[in-house]
């Protein structure tokens, strides 16, 4: 049984597909959350489907349950910051969190499940801190500053989670769901940038012949610089950051 929900983080809203399943080990019914993308303005999600016409029962997690789950996610994040994703095991996560090995499986089905929870955490933090392209728009000077802030944040903030992002690249190969998620997030970022460029052109602030093509090219540039910094495990060098910002500004303004 599955349904969609919308979760708000700061000013943004995100869509998730929530699927119920029975844990083969504990026989308990659990929920699996899958990220579907940024919710469009006015989007709404249907409530969980009712069974037999009755109102759906939503079980709330207790404070102790949330705290234990949080400890496991934090432990996983610490482990991938200091080592490789492939080397991390469920037992290591439980031990790092100061919990029994079996406790891990009360909250997560396997290592990939805690990885996905950690990935959601990092993504939400990065999205929350990133400047938006929402109107109102200012003059060229104001929009230049906005683009500079957006580009700088996009390249420097992920370095604070370099281990987690390295884990993402490690897990990406051979995982169709992660590959689809990456394509979806990349397409959403490119679409937002293209829409912003088109709005600047419509407002007469800049003149751009093909906003979609330019957004695609700039997205490729950011992805390459970001991957380089993630693999290096450090904030992009000043020359790299300045170069990317320069290309953005020259291409747009």
Compare 240 and 210 and report the one with higher pLDDT: 210
The token duo for 79 is: 């482990």
180 and 246 share a domain? yes
| Structural domains in the chain (count) | 3
Task: Report d(CA 46, CA 119) in Å as an integer.
Answer: 25
135 and 120 share a domain? no
The token duo for 165 is: 């992002």
Query: In the predicted model, what is the mean pLDDT of the chain?
Result: 82
Q: Please write the tens of the pLDDT for every residue from 111-140.
A: 999 999 999 888 888 887 778 888 899 999
**Interior CA angle at 194 toward 45 and 202, to 5°?**
105
- Note whether 135 and 199 are within 8 A (CB): yes
Q: What domain range includes position 9? A: 1-59
Task: Report d(CA 219, CA 214) in Å as an integer.
Answer: 8
Residue 72 has pLDDT above 60, yes or no: yes
Task: Report d(CA 31, CA 36) in Å as an integer.
Answer: 15
Give the CATH number, domain containing residue 142.
1.10.357
- Note whether 163 and 82 are within 8 A (CB): yes
What is the average pLDDT across 167-195? 89
pLDDT (0 to 100) of residue 33: 67
CA 247 to chain centre: 25
Residue 85 has pLDDT above 70, yes or no: yes
Q: Is 28 helix (H, G, I), strand (E, B) or coil?
A: coil
pLDDT (0 to 100) of residue 240: 86
Q: Please write the tens of the pLDDT for every residue from 3-46.
A: 777 776 555 666 677 777 665 556 666 676 666 666 665 555 55
pLDDT (0 to 100) of residue 58: 44
- Note whether 191 and 220 are within 8 A (CB): no
Q: Please write the tens of the pLDDT for every residue from 140-160.
A: 999 999 999 999 888 888 777
């Amino acid at each position: 049984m599955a349904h969609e929900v919308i979760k708000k983080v700061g000013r943004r809203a995100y869509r998730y597909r929530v699927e119920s399943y029975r844990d083969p080990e504990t026989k308990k019914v659990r929920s699996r959350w899958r990220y579907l993308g940024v919710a469009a303005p006015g989007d709404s999600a249907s409530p969980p489907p009712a069974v037999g016409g009755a109102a759906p029962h939503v079980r709330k997690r207790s404070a102790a349950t949330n705290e234990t789950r949080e400890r496991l996610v934090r432990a996983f994040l610490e482990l991938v910051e200091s080592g490789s994703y492939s080397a991390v095991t469920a037992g290591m996560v439980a031990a790092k969190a100061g919990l029994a090995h079996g406790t891990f499986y009360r909250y997560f089905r396997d290592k990939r499940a805690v990885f996905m929870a950690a990935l959601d955490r990092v993504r939400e933090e990065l999205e929350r801190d990133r400047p938006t392209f929402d109107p109102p728009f200012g003059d060229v000077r104001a929009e230049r500053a906005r683009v500079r802030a957006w580009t700088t944040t996009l390249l420097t903030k992920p370095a604070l989670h370099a281990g987690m992002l390295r884990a993402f690249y490690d897990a990406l190969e051979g995982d169709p769901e992660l590959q689809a998620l990456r394509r979806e997030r990349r397409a959403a970022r490119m679409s937002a940038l293209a829409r912003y460029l088109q709005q600047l052109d419509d407002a007469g602030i800049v003149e751009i012949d093909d906003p979609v093509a330019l957004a695609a090219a700039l997205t490729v540039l950011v992805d390459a610089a970001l991957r380089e910094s993630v693999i290096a495990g450090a904030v992009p060098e000043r020359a790299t950051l300045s170069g990317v910002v320069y290309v953005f500004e020259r291409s747009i303004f």
